[in-house]
A and B are shown apart, each in its own frame.
Chain A
Amino acid sequence: MKHTFIYILFFLSSVSCALGQNTDSLSISSRSKIYSGDSVKFSAYDFAKTSPFFIKKLMPQQYSSINAGYNYSKGTLMHAQDASKLYETFLSTEGITQIKTVSLWGQFVINKTVEDSTKFAHITRYNPTNRYYFGSPIDLNYERTVYNLKALASKNMLKNNLPIGLGADYRIGNHYSTNDPRGDIKDFQFDLTATAGYNLSKQLSVGAGYRYGYGRERVNVGYKNNSLSQGSVKPEYNTYLINGYGEAQEYNTNRSINTDFKRNGLEINLAAEKTTFGDVYFNYRYTKEKQEFYYRSDGGYFNYVDYNNIAQNFRLLWLKGIALNTLSIDLQYNNNDGDNYIIEYLSNSYIFNSNTISAKATYSIHQKKAIHNYSICIQKIGEQRQDGLAGNDIQFNQLNFSIGYGLNKQTTQQHNWGFSVMAHYNKYLNSHFNTTANNVGVFTRNVIYYDYAYNTTSKFGANLTGDYSIPMFKQIQAGIKVGLNYWRRDDLKDFGRVLTSAPGKDRFSSNISLNLYF
């Protein structure tokens, strides 16, 4: 399987390179670099990835990049189930090109992550609403390798009045811990999107799409040191089963869960271009997913829990040119509603809701050889988890502010340099905390209390990036980019519980990447 991906990677890269040679290669690569440094254009590019309906409208004719990088994070200002140290290496390539009348965008990413000190989380990190999983109190080193291939294609038919599109997203991952209890998780997810639209006028296009996807996770937890496998002597080595958001149960037999995913949904798209207001793009996605958790052995098939999640995503992008400058307003609303169904009780016990609403304004000032990017963002995050079995009802709301400035400058030799600086403030708004006293055990103390403390403290941080790129081999812009990120928290809110462990004061992360644009 790995080889297949590597072939795909080389194929995508070579196609992009070959197409890049058709015209003035150096100027294309330079344009790609400048494109990536224009926050407004890049936010439009980012929006276009949501659906094939938009790629002809919002992506450039040609843009390719290859990025290889390394991220490092350290600090315990994090959720309880995150890693206190994280090392991540990645290689990604993406680009758009035109094959006759078809616009084709593709992206391929290989991501290798090493997590140090992960607790209570034999999980993939890709299914955050999952509430049926194994976990252990002991710190685990997790290694994860994830391959992700995405492709979008769009073609205009019927005299350019009927834009149709196809999209695919395939992700496969392998996750395992290198110390006991050894989690071993293999997963894949595959999604397809088909869209069709109609140009009602030169200015207005509407469209709709159907989305279908499925996936699988296979989780096993084992022990190399068998004497730890029934870990009551060293309770931190116990394996627990977490079902919902209540106290976990010790689970020392049949430590295996299979999860099958099925989802389908609709999307609605709209594009209003070249109006007096500017350009407006709207995308709404509705995805209904069913996750089935079961155990299969020679003894039979046991269905434990079904989990249903409905995700709704609204996104509206407004682009406006003001003289040579550009403005983008990106409004988003995302909502997840999840509920489980426990087969043992033939009833629902867990309800999850998360929602975010955000508004981001980006203003890019284009000067002769420079782009100044200003951005401001406000985002409200809310989350509620209710566990009926445990009697827990926990909810919080936060407000995020961020403001930033970036500069991208090009020299006469087509060298590019730039930097950006951004300040963040995460403000705790309000919360609700209700747990049943007779259900407090190791999971409640170490995860539920911890996360509540984390989510109800305000935080502030800053981000600084710098990059430099030069033309190379007459065809590409090659650059290096470094970034530093720092978060620190306020005092923790006293919510009347004794914390056995508490979120740390701060978290630092840095990254460096080599980037090729062509």
Chain B
Amino acid sequence: MKISVFLFLALTITFAACKKNTSPEIHPVQYQIKTSYASKDLGKVLPLLNVRIVLKNTKTNINDTLFTKADGIVPILKLSPGVYDITASITIPAAQYTSLTNEIVDKEVVFNGSVKNQVISLKDDQSLQLDLVSGSIGPWVIKQIYYAGSNSTNGALFRDQFIEFYNNTDSLLYADSLYFAEAIGIQNYTSKTVYRLENQQYDWSKSQDMPGNIDANNGFVYARTLLMIPGTGKQYPVKAGESIILAQTAINHKSPFTGTDGKTISVRDPSLTVDLSGADFEAYYAPFLPRPLASDIDNPNVPNVEVIAYNGTDLIFDNPGRIGYVIFRNKGTTDVKNLKQYAAPSITPPSSTAEKYYQIPVSYIIDAVETQPYSAASRVPKKLGASLDAGYTFVPAGAYSSQSVIRKTEATVNGRKVLKDTNNSLEDFDFLPLAAPRAFK
């Protein structure tokens, strides 16, 4: 009987002795990021040592910062497969830049490169090439964007949105004929009815009637809203370190007011919204609309911007944040109103009534900022190239949160605040828990 018992136990243990896998099939992969200057001439003289690389895992929101070696390469031995936003930037002091290039500059020069939603697959030995470009560091910067709006029940919904432009120089500037545009792009990754680039953004070169001899994707942005600050040329001076506010509706949103339909519009919780009665300009769309918004009232004390192209029933910013904001001046000979307009690059030819967007040369642009939804799952293909905005910014609480994105203060010179402008809003921007016109952070 003993033998049978032992045989029985031995059989059982043998049956159970099957071993499973001892290590996961997926593992962190080897990855290499190579940086180089987009300009071959600059690439011959400018350094590639210590280019700052930031990898942001879009699922975990963890940033990993690395620096390149002298050859502009950073090897990563272990990188988790996934989807990343990757930015590269290097700041070259003015004196060094001048000595290396013989080009006289009075301010440090920042070169950026970026790619959004870069998929790191399960394979080893993948690599990414990032071209570093220097955007223009303009006299004006977009300082604050309040696109989120305030609570839909207790706040002012989207009526209280505004954007703020700042004179980031040490001299007086005039806001006259400063243009503001909302840069448009495709808002999803799924549509199969349009031509796309590798980064999933529209391939504007495939738009109907687009000339073949221009760089339609990198040389231009496409505007759905195009506004101009009026003036005679020296009508609206802005001192160094001061700003102008462009409001959707320039009133005090904390207080009740009478809409154009005669009904009172009020908020339950005034602390959630802002007083825009002191705004410098407002957008007034009523003259163009058969049925304007009741809340779009015209404050006679605040000048209206000139509307060249508009979208919707007021200057209503996309409150999840899926848009690019651009300020520019006309540097060409063509009146901005007469710039070419193109429809989105649909695979089937667009209808005659399809919306067309103004094509604005990147060379005109003084400053640009891209916002994206706070949630990685809701983000959309990037609209602005690395020379305009290598990253993107967002308010962490999303739509209707009363939050705004605001440019960081880099330094204070003789009481004048100098705002950070590296053409990378990931680095340059922070947020305010409650939007505040003319505030600093």
Contact = CB atoms under 8 A, between A and B. Distances in A.
B376 interface: yes
Contact of A389 (B5, B26, B396): B26
B21 A339 contact: yes
B377 interface: yes
B23 interface: yes
Contacts of B416: none
B397 A280 contact: no
B27 interface: yes
Contact of A233 (B82, B151, B401): B401
A134 to B, nearest CB: 14
Nearest to A348: B25
B4 interface: yes
A386 B82 CA distance: 17
Contact of B60 (A200, A248, A348): A248
B24 A348 contact: yes
A441 B375 contact: no
Interface in A268-285: 268, 270, 272, 275, 280, 282, 284
Nearest to A285: B16
Contact of A227 (B20, B25, B397): B397
A280 B24 contact: no
A350 interface: yes
Contact of A388 (B27, B377, B398): B27
B374 A232 contact: yes
Interface stretch (A67-75, A167-175, A397-405, A432-440): A432-440
Contact of A351 (B5, B23, B59): B23
B8 A270 contact: yes
Interface stretch (B73-81, B167-175, B305-313, B333-341): B73-81
A375 to B, nearest CB: 25
B9 A438 contact: no
Contact of A230 (B8, B122, B397): B397
A128 to B, nearest CB: 18
B183 interface: no
Given A272-B1, A280-B5, A282-B9, A386 B397 contact: no
A356 B398 CA distance: 48
A250 interface: yes
Contacts of A117: none
A488 B394 CA distance: 47
Given A204-B4, A233-B396, A250-B61, A439 B23 contact: no
B230 interface: no
A233 B403 CA distance: 10
Contacts of A351: 20-24
A367 interface: no
Contact of A253 (B23, B61, B378): B378
A336 B20 CA distance: 11
Given A345-B122, A438-B62, A268 B79 contact: no
A438 B84 CA distance: 13
A217 interface: no
Contact of A438 (B4, B59, B79, B378): B79
Contact of B396 (A201, A232, A345, A438): A232
B81 A345 contact: yes
Tell me which of B24, B27, B60, B81 has the highest count of chain A C-beta atoms within 10 A of its own C-beta: B24
Interface size class of A (residues with CB under 8 A): 35 or more
A310 B80 contact: no
B59 A249 contact: yes
Contacts of A314: 12-13, 16
Tell me which of B1, B378, B403 has the highest count of chain A C-beta atoms within 10 A of its own C-beta: B1
Tell me which of A314, A387, A388 has the highest count of chain B C-beta atoms within 10 A of its own C-beta: A388
Interface string A288-323: 000000000000000000000010101000000000
B55 interface: yes
Nearest to A337: B20
A342 interface: yes
B67 to A, nearest CB: 14
A283 to B, nearest CB: 10
Nearest to A266: B15
A203 B1 contact: yes
A441 B60 contact: yes
A453 interface: no
A339 B20 contact: yes
A246 B79 CA distance: 13
Interface in A77-115: none
A203 B22 CA distance: 42
Given A248-B60, A389-B82, A270 B24 contact: no
Interface string B241-259: 0000000000000000000
Interface string B6-18: 0011001101100
B4 A439 contact: no
A310 B377 CA distance: 34
Given A203-B1, A438-B79, A252 B375 contact: yes
B43 interface: no
Nearest to A340: B24
Contacts of B62: 247, 438-441
A441 B61 contact: yes
Contacts of B375: 230, 250, 252-253
B24 A247 contact: no
Contacts of A345: 26, 81, 122
A272 B1 CA distance: 9
Interface string B333-364: 00000000000000000000000000000000
Interface string A335-370: 001010010010111110000000000000000000
A390 interface: yes
Nearest to A384: B22
Contact of B26 (A232, A280, A388): A388
Contacts of B21: 339, 348, 351
A349 B1 contact: no
A246 B82 CA distance: 13
Interface in B61-114: 61-62, 64, 78-82
A390 B79 CA distance: 8
Given A232-B374, A233-B433, A246 B80 contact: yes
Contacts of B59: 249-250
Nearest to B374: A232
B1 A348 contact: no
B28 interface: yes
A389 B81 contact: yes
B397 A268 contact: no
A166 interface: no
A204 B26 contact: no
B80 A436 contact: yes
Contacts of A310: 20
Contacts of B398: 230, 232
A419 interface: no
Shortest beta-carbon contacts, A-B, top 6: A388-B24, A232-B396, A388-B26, A249-B59, A438-B64, A391-B28
23 contacts: A227-B401, A230-B374, A247-B60, A249-B61, A250-B376, A270-B8, A275-B1, A310-B20, A314-B13, A349-B24, A386-B23, A386-B24, A388-B23, A388-B24, A388-B28, A389-B81, A390-B80, A391-B27, A436-B78, A438-B55, A438-B79, A438-B80, A439-B57
Given A230-B401, A438-B64, 19 more contacts: A227-B151, A227-B397, A230-B396, A233-B433, A247-B57, A252-B375, A253-B375, A253-B378, A275-B1, A280-B5, A282-B9, A282-B12, A337-B20, A348-B21, A349-B25, A349-B26, A390-B28, A436-B78, A440-B62
